[in-house]
Structure formats: structure tokens, C-alpha cells
Amino acid sequence: MRKIFVLDTNVILHNPDSLTSFADNVVLLPMEVLEELDKFKRYHDERGRNARIAIRMLDEFRKEGEPGKEFPINDGGSLRISSHIESSENLFKTFGLSPNVTDNRILLSAYNLKSKGEHVIFVSKDISARIKADALGIKCMDFEKQKVDFDKLYSGWAQKDVSGDIIDKFHRNKGIEWEKEDSYANQFFILSSPAQSKHTLLARYDAENSKLVPLAHDKTRVMAISPKNKEQMMALELLLNDDIKLVTLLGAAGTGKTLLALATGLYKVTKENKYSRLLISRPIVPIGRDIGYLPGTKEEKLEHWMGPIFDNLEYICSMDKSGKNTKKVKGKALVEKYVKEDVIVLEAMTFMRGRSIAEQFIIIDEAQNLTPHEIKTVISRAGEGSKLVLTGDPYQIDNPYLDSSSNGLSYCVEKMKDQKMFGHVTLTKSERSELASLAADIL
């Protein structure tokens, strides 16, 4: 028996390819979904783009069918448009649903089909809508294409017990042969000897030569910033390696991911002259109640959203060579100088589409609020000679239709984990302050 998948609008806005993701079954779109797509197509963000793509796809499918009937789509499936709800008024009253809510009308389209004995599955990214569907006795599901198992997400490093002889051989030969099995390019390994608890080492896996090699930057200070733990040492190793073009850093608040990325970017641009500028962006997703439109130029608008970035930059620029914090006023003045001279550039995610950004050190902060397609769009903007760093905390997602498993940052980590130009570290230890560490652990 063929299944009928009733799609909520948010599924299509999340990924227009959802229209062709249900094999040889029937995809049903209530007329309300088309109305909402028509409304969203005017938007200039990712939702508007996806709405326009979906509408064009529907137009192509329509040419293969007859008016008012199902029309064929990929893999032997078909697509149907539901144009009305039978006995809708009685159903709305029976279930206590408001007829003015679009989601309710979409749900009742699914309910009508179920009442006729059809095998109906309601698909939505909206948890509330799925709860309503369950209450109506309709089978429901999240759209799980481009979703990963977050509990098993690649961490970028692992601990292994080995004999003391192997550790001695590593130090003697500046590396050892290493089995490829369960090892990924640029993965880090903490090797320790059970017999000697202090006999440990930290190494990186060189996939090209199938060897564990010493860290090249284990004692490096960057803009007077020193790594405070092994995880930060791993992160700095990836950030300073120019052969690794894409770095992802996951971690809770205070683990140092953004600070290390900014310090390295500034170092690479101002000290080594490896890149022409430091480009910084972050998704504009408000926490709490949105404050609406902000006045001023693009730079003035972005300053409000880039507060955490400026805090880190001012801290970095106020450090002296010994790593001590000097006057914050000095750090602020230096950051303003870099911004004025285009050494540091703030960019809105909206303006990155269509660009080719060459020879720049690019940092995307709070990347957990991006969809998999948005992450792909951002990475594909990196031109020749550029390095891209994505940072974020998958436990702090402000996008209502993403979670720790479906956000673009987690998806990127899992899909890119064995590429030679990619490196990843999940940072777990908070170094910001005792209070920040406590909050990350128990709140």
C-alpha cells in the first residue's frame, strides 16, 4: 500500500528537495501550503529562496501530469494537491481547533485522508504541529534527510591506551605508523600507557602517510593567547595549519572556540600576512523577543549583533607580549583601527550568497543556527587561498526548526570528517571563568 506523505510548509522551506525524498509514494500538498509558499517567495532570505525553488519544481512537475490529478515525480512517486477539506466546520468544532490557523487546516487535510482508510504520514519540522497530529491519531514524523546522530557525532579526537614502548618510539622517531581503521584525517589521539599514568602524548593523524605525527604548533602563542588545555591545543593546531582549509569548532560557552579562532585569524592577517583580511559573520537570529529594525548603515546595524565578537577582539588586542591584560581602551582603539583599515571586515550572512571570497580568513560564529544548505552555501563561497572556520554550540540553537542533530554545523562535521583539508575539535572544558563553567555544567 502506497503511503501518502502530507508535507507541512516548514519542511519545504527547510529543504525544497523534500518534494522528491519519499521514493515511490505520494506527496500531498494542501492548498494552504501553496498559499504559504507564495507568501514566502517574496522574502530575501533562505526561506524565500527555498520557496522559489519549490515553486519552480512544482511547475516542472505539473507539466508532466493532467490538470486536477496527480502528477509524477522522481523514483516512481507522485504529487497531489489537496484543494479542499470535506466537512471542515464540523471537524474544527469536534477537535477544538481554530479554522484561522493554517497549520490546523493542513492537519485536517491529513485527517480526512486517514478517515478514508489511506496510510497517511504528516511530515513537519514544527514540534507543536506533530503533537497535534498525534492527538488526532495521525502518524507523524520530522523530516530527517540531512540529519545526523548527535550522540555519536565525530569529536575530532580520541583516547587510546598503548604500551610505554610505543610512546617512547613516537618521541624517538617523531611519529609512528598508525592503522587507518577508526581514524580520520587530522584526527587527534591522546596516547597513554596504563602502567605509567603520566606517560602520555598528543598526536595528529596524517592520513596521507598513515602516521601519527607530533603537533607542529604545540608551544605556539597566538596574539599572546596560549592554549589552556589539550582541546585548545588541538584547535590551535588546526587553525594554524594553512593546508587545512575548513575547521569546525564545537563547544559550550567559555570553551575558547571563538577566542582562538579570532586570535589566529588576526595573527595570520596582521603578523604573517598569509591572508588579506579577517572576515567575520554570524547568523542574525535574535535571542528572546526581537527588537525589530535597527537604524544606521550596514556596519552600524551589525555592530549590535557583533558585540560578542568585539568583546573577544578587544580582549585579544589589549594583551601585551607576556599575555597580561593591559588597558581595554587600547584594545578597543586597535580594533577600531583594524575595522577602519578593512583588516577586519564584518559581513551579514545575507550578503555572502553569490560571492567568491579569496585569500581571506573567514570566521562564521554561531554556525549552529544555519541549516545544512546554508552551511553548504557559506563553504562554497570560499575562494582560492581562503580558510574558513565555523564555530558554534549545538546545545544553544535559536532557530525554531533546527536541533542538535539537524543543524548545518553538526551535519558538516559528520559529512566532512575524513577529508584531508578538514579538521574538527569538540571542546568540552570551559576556561572562561569558574562561574561560566558552572553555568555550562548545570544550567
| pLDDT tens digits along 26-47 | 999 999 999 999 999 998 888 8
| Cα angle 111-116-122, degrees, rounded to a multiple of 5 | 35
Dist. CA 290–CA 285, nearest whole Å: 9
User: Domains, the chain, ranges and CATH?
Assistant: 4-142 (3.40.50.1010), 228-286+296-442 (3.40.50.300)
Residues 6 or more apart whose CB falls under 8 angstroms from that of 124 comprise 7, 8, 10, 11, 130, 133, 140, 142, 143
Instruction: State residue 285's pLDDT score.
Output: 58
Per-residue pLDDT of 56-102, as tens digits, reads 999 988 888 777 788 888 778 899 988 765 545 566 667 777 778 88
- The stretch 355-376 carries a mean pLDDT of 91
**pLDDT band with cut points at 50, 70 and 90 for residue 52:** very high
- The secondary structure of 22-56 as a DSSP string is STTSEEEEEHHHHHHHHHHTT-SSHHHHHHHHHHH
Backbone phi, psi, residue 356, to 5°: -125, 105
Mean pLDDT value across the chain: 86
Residues 6 or more apart whose CB falls under 8 angstroms from that of 243 comprise 420, 421
Instruction: State residue 289's pLDDT score.
Output: 42
Q: What is the SS3 assignment for 418?
A: coil
Provide the strand spans (E) within 343-398. Answer: 344-346, 360-364, 387-392
Residue 403 has pLDDT above 60, yes or no: yes
Name the helix (H) or strand (E) containing 408.
helix 408-416
| Cα angle 426-153-9, degrees, rounded to a multiple of 5 | 115
Which of 171-175, 234-238, 316-320, 344-348 shows the lowest per-residue confidence on average (mean pLDDT)?
A: 316-320
Instruction: State residue 290's pLDDT score.
Output: 44
Instruction: State residue 440's pLDDT score.
Output: 66
The count of C-alpha atoms lying within 13 angstroms of the C-alpha of 366, restricted to the half-sphere facing its C-beta, is: 20
Q: Is 174 left (phi over 0), alpha (psi -120 to 50) or beta?
A: left
Dist. CA 348–CA 305, nearest whole Å: 10
CB 85 within 8 A of CB 112: yes
Burial of 285 (0-12, 13-18, 19+ CB in 10 A): middle
